[in-house]
Amino acid sequence: MRASVCGLLASPPPGPRGRGCVVYDTARGVVEEVTEEPRGELVAAGEDLLVLPGLVDMHVHLRGLQLSYKEDERSGCRAALRGGLTLVADMPNTSPPASTPEVVAEKLRRLRSLRLEALLYAGVPPSEGLVDDIASMPGVAGFKIYPRDLVERHRVVERILSKPGLLVVVHPELPEAEKSEYEDPSSRAAGRGCHWEAAAVEYIASLSPEARVHITHASCSSTVTLAKRYGFTVDVAPHHLLYTPPRGGGCLYKVNPPLRLPPEPQLLLKQLLDGQVDAIASDHAPHAPGEKEGDPLTCPPGIAWLEAWPRLLLCLLDRLGGPQLLASLASTRPAALLSRRRCLDPGCPATFTVYQRAWTRFDAVRESKARRVPYLGARLCAETRLVVVDGKHLMLG
């Protein structure tokens, strides 16, 4: 069946931009043409609609397994759809960790049952012999390296980094940084300072990787510069762009790596506008509401973002470069890193995010189990109107 969505098309150049309709085949899940007038069933149309290539979040924690009380694949998927996302890549620090073929297979089974596309990064396995087996499992996007892996599973890390073309996502800190914990958010920023990120990037580079190294949640501009110098790709998280350590912020703003003092957020934003940052990725890290009310010294770090972040950043990026900037940083570029395509041209997958422009406030978390978030009451400049994945209409707002 033919269907159309019409509005302001916003794909990065050279894709379609300006008023128009994307016409797609719902059964084949492919864009057929871009026209001025709708063809087939008109699914959504309006002057105030923004049609983006389907949004992507390449760093999320959907949890599940024994951590399902914090979030599970289904609640995380619903939150992602409400946020307007069409593809997420899930992290392996689950319980038990997704670093053996058995647990990876179980996680993949759950992710495959979701309505949006969900890939998994595997954790560093206990032995070198498991690397190839896990890397070849369909749905595995690559591996995630955590600071302690650099010490505890050093030989396996070397094996992973020796694989040409394999995507390896690195949390850029050293284990020593993780040992320093501080109650006050600004002293946490000092204890887990930018030098730890730089040291981790330098260390990975010293191993002469053949793999495609991606540095995730760079919180310091020096990390972005260093990552690019070594030919790595790099993402930043919304909180490192939007927030600085608040006075008495308690647990709500506690996150790893910590929020940075000015001018880091402004410098990161400048690098983002200069094209040095490859993607925005949220590090959606949900915790149960009671956990985020606990003692700031011992409560778990992480901000749950999926329902809000793309619309929150749309407001910011709109002013600085237009909606195609969000399309580039939260769709086409991260999709390419995950070997997926996001675009609006004929022949592209019929996978889009359709926002309706409206000034609203984020009043409550509806889908994620993590209800305690720092952005309650924040101004949003769009509602999610429709999410289409491979021609299927997943969310009609």
The residues that touch ligand NCD, with contacts defined as CB under 6 A, are 61, 93, 171, 255-256, 283, 285, 300-302
**From the list ligand NCD, Zn ion, none, partner contacted by residue 301 (C-beta under 5 to 8 A by kind):** ligand NCD
The CB-of-171 to ligand NCD minimum distance in angstroms stands at: 6
> Parallel, antiparallel, or unpaired: how do β-strands 17-25 and 2-10 relate?
antiparallel
61 contact partners, CB below 8 Å, separation of at least 6: 71, 90, 91, 93, 283, 284, 285, 286, 302
Instruction: Please provide the DSSP assignment of 46-104 as one string.
Output: EEEEEEEEPEEEEEE----GGGTTT--HHHHHHHHHHHTEEEEEE-S--SS-S-SHHHH
The residue among 110 and 192 lying less far from ligand NCD, judged by its C-beta, is 192
Report d(CA 383, CA 397) in Å as an integer: 8
The residue among 145 and 255 lying less far from ligand NCD, judged by its C-beta, is 255
Position 54, amino acid = G
**From the list Zn ion, ligand NCD, none, partner contacted by residue 255 (C-beta under 5 to 8 A by kind):** ligand NCD
CA 263 to mean position of chain CA atoms = 23
Report d(CA 199, CA 147) in Å as an integer: 11
**From the list Zn ion, ligand NCD, none, partner contacted by residue 100 (C-beta under 5 to 8 A by kind):** none
The residue among 352 and 375 lying less far from ligand NCD, judged by its C-beta, is 375
The residues that touch Zn ion, with contacts defined as CB under 5 A, are 283
The CB-of-89 to ligand NCD minimum distance in angstroms stands at: 14
72 tagged catalytic: no
The CB-of-287 to ligand NCD minimum distance in angstroms stands at: 7
The residue among 139 and 301 lying less far from ligand NCD, judged by its C-beta, is 301
The residue among 201 and 387 lying less far from ligand NCD, judged by its C-beta, is 201
**From the list ligand NCD, Zn ion, none, partner contacted by residue 302 (C-beta under 5 to 8 A by kind):** ligand NCD
Q: Dihedral, CA atoms, 303, 174, 163, 54, nearest 10 degrees? A: 20
Other beta carbons within 10 Å of 328: 25
What secondary structure letter does DSSP report for 329? I
Which pair of tokens denotes residue 122? 């595997």
**From the list ligand NCD, Zn ion, none, partner contacted by residue 139 (C-beta under 5 to 8 A by kind):** none
* Maximum Cα interatomic distance, the chain, rounded to a whole number of Å: 60
Catalytic residue among 57, 278, 283, 390: 283
The CB-of-46 to ligand NCD minimum distance in angstroms stands at: 37
392 bridge partner residues: 389
The CB-of-77 to Zn ion minimum distance in angstroms stands at: 17
> Catalytic positions, please?
283
